Structure 1
Amino acid sequence: MKTSINNEAHWHELRKNRIGASECAALFGQHEYIDLFSLYHRILSGKVQDENDAMWWGKKEESLIAEYATEKLGMNLSKVTDYYYLEDVNLGASPDYVDQDGQFVQIKSTTQRYESDNLPMYIESQLQQEMLCTGTKTIICLVKYADRRVIAYHRDFNEAFCKELIQRAKDFFVMLEARDEPSVTLKSAALAKQLYLYSEDKKEIDKRFDEDFALQVSQLKSLRAQSRDLEKQISVLDASIKQQIEDAEIVLYGTEGVLTAKTQVENHKAREATTVTKRIIRIKGE
């Protein structure tokens, strides 16, 4: 099914009670930013995330990448103005563009410098959901890398993956209907600020964490900093000891003297020199 998008507010209204293509990796625990807990509260509240700096820059770069694809890659792209969704399960999608052949095109930018044949799971799953909702069998993903190259990735519809996606989505909404809240994960805790966006009562969200949650986070940061400092000290001492052993002639362990690599090499060279001298004397004697 599809419906025309009147404006951005209408687009948000269509999305608020559905799992969007850019969110579905959370159903597999493979999303870069969100997990089931944050997705649960996002849909339960009926809100969508406010635009942040990353999203703002993403929109700006999207149009530039589309312009690049038109001028440099010979693609004729048109902005998609429809929202696609499934009737029997709350999954939706709105690809970025459609090309001259009617093929949908998704645009991404990344800070990675070098391309890879495999895209991150949260992008691969997004492409699959977009094909699922639009009823298409192929899709193109244009990715701009940090060195400003744009690579076109072609993907085919994966029926087995989409069947699993549909089942996980159905299970998720059963859990949502029963108010069976998913467990808080470390990712949820790290995104506590994001969770606040989906709740009118911030105190209620606060109670989901231990009372000393902020203290725990502070202690963890402190311990990690100490750990890094200790690693640096260990590295310096290790290098110093190795250098001293290499430079020393004899290292004493208890009452035994152990020849170091340097001493052994010098002794070996001395033996070679002695052998060569004896050979020269022998030859002269002959």
Structure 2
Amino acid sequence: MAANPILDQQIIDDPHMKPLEWHKARQNYIGASEVGAILGLNPWKSRLEVYLEKVADEPVIIGMNERMRWGLIHEAVIASEFCRRTGLKVQQWSKGYTSKEFPFLRASADRLIIGSEKGTGILEIKTANGFYAKSWEHEVPLMYYAQLMLQMYCSCHDWGAITVLIDGNELHTHWYSRDEDFLAAAVPQLVDFWKNHVEKRIPPEPQNGEDVQKLYAASLPGKFV
């Protein structure tokens, strides 16, 4: 059984942070949304990219694109529909939690689920287009599963859900219990990434040709690749 997150976890997010301060702060820890890339589960981002962001002299700030903006706009609507369909209630989770054992592992989530006989759970909200609909049909993509598991690990929750709106008109919700076997395998890899790569400033092995280019560019500043 997970411990009480209020008693056992340290609140770490400051809602009054400016964007630059927030991005600088993120260089000091691994967030739940970065776990998939570090574990090799994110098809769009590699562990080397995460490493380069952590050790950069200035934080890498990625602007919000249209997809991200509309995902944020739809978040409240999706949460409301989740409540209507499930009969549960949610509340915003504006604060983050850090692992007591490994303070460089931190997490926040879109909502907390309340009103369940199982106690409080975590709700992660996603949007997707129809091209990726099949990847959500029976289970969630592994990088999002990994994200939810680290959220549970850091906040000491035992269960949660990922709900996704596909093409703006099809809602799927997937329910999960805390996966101790997954965490037992994943957490040591995250610890190794932080202690043996980020802290020591030793880049992980490139995973593809694009990684090689980025590593070369990072090691020879001023060079154009």
Shorter-normalised TM range: 0.7 to 0.9
Task: Find the counterpart in structure 2 of residue 43 from structure 1.
Answer: 54
Q: Distance in 1 between matches of 2:26 and 2:97?
A: 10
Q: Which amino acid aligns with 1:154?
A: W
Considering Cα pairs closer than 8 Å and 6+ residues apart, tell me whether 1 or 2 has the greater RCO: 2
Q: Distance in 2 between matches of 1:184 and 1:79?
A: 38
Is the contact between residue 162 and residue 174 of structure 2 (CA under 8 Å) also seen in structure 1? yes
Report how many aligned residue pairs link the two structures.
Answer: 202
Q: Distance in 2 between matches of 1:97 and 1:56?
A: 18
Q: Which amino acid aligns with 1:122?
A: M
Task: Find the counterpart in structure 2 of residue 125 from structure 1.
Answer: 146
Larger Rg: 1
Task: Find the counterpart in structure 2 of residue 226 from structure 1.
Answer: none
Once the two structures are TM-superposed, the CA of residue 50 in structure 1 deviates from its matched residue by 2.0
Q: Distance in 1 between matches of 2:213 and 2:94?
A: 31
Q: 1:120 to 1:52 in 2, by over 3 A?
A: same
Task: Find the counterpart in structure 1 of residue 125 from structure 2.
Answer: 107
Is the contact between residue 38 and residue 188 of structure 1 (CA under 8 Å) also seen in structure 2? no
Q: Which amino acid aligns with 1:70?
A: C
Task: Find the counterpart in structure 1 of residue 203 from structure 2.
Answer: 181
Is the contact between residue 80 and residue 94 of structure 1 (CA under 8 Å) also seen in structure 2? yes
For normalisation by structure 1, the TM-score amounts to 0.62
For normalisation by structure 2, the TM-score amounts to 0.77
Task: Find the counterpart in structure 1 of residue 10 from structure 2.
Answer: 2
Once the two structures are TM-superposed, the CA of residue 44 in structure 1 deviates from its matched residue by 1.0
Is the contact between residue 16 and residue 48 of structure 1 (CA under 8 Å) also seen in structure 2? no
Task: Find the counterpart in structure 2 of residue 91 from structure 1.
Answer: 105
Once the two structures are TM-superposed, the CA of residue 146 in structure 1 deviates from its matched residue by 2.0
Q: Distance in 1 between matches of 2:182 and 2:146?
A: 8
Is the contact between residue 21 and residue 92 of structure 1 (CA under 8 Å) also seen in structure 2? yes
Higher mean alpha-carbon deviation, 97-106 vs 180-189, is at 180-189
Is the contact between residue 37 and residue 181 of structure 1 (CA under 8 Å) also seen in structure 2? yes
Is the contact between residue 2 and residue 82 of structure 1 (CA under 8 Å) also seen in structure 2? no
Which segments of 5 or more consecutive residues in structure 1 lack a partner in the other structure? 210-286
Q: Deviations over 1:166-206 (max 9, x none)?
A: 211121122222222123333744996xx9xxx9x896274
Which segments of 5 or more consecutive residues in structure 2 lack a partner in the other structure? 1-8
Q: Which amino acid aligns with 1:110?
A: A
Higher mean alpha-carbon deviation, 51-60 vs 128-137, is at 51-60
Q: Distance in 2 between matches of 1:183 and 1:117?
A: 33
Q: 1:171 to 1:190 in 2, by over 3 A?
A: closer
Once the two structures are TM-superposed, the CA of residue 135 in structure 1 deviates from its matched residue by 0.5
Is the contact between residue 96 and residue 107 of structure 1 (CA under 8 Å) also seen in structure 2? yes
Instruction: Tell me which stretches of 4 or more aligned residues in structure 1 moved more than 6 Å.
Output: none
Q: 1:13 to 1:189 in 2, by over 3 A?
A: closer
Is the contact between residue 15 and residue 92 of structure 1 (CA under 8 Å) also seen in structure 2? no
Is the contact between residue 11 and residue 83 of structure 1 (CA under 8 Å) also seen in structure 2? no
Task: Find the counterpart in structure 2 of residue 23 from structure 1.
Answer: 34
Q: 1:11 to 1:204 in 2, by over 3 A?
A: closer
| Percent identity (aligned) | 20
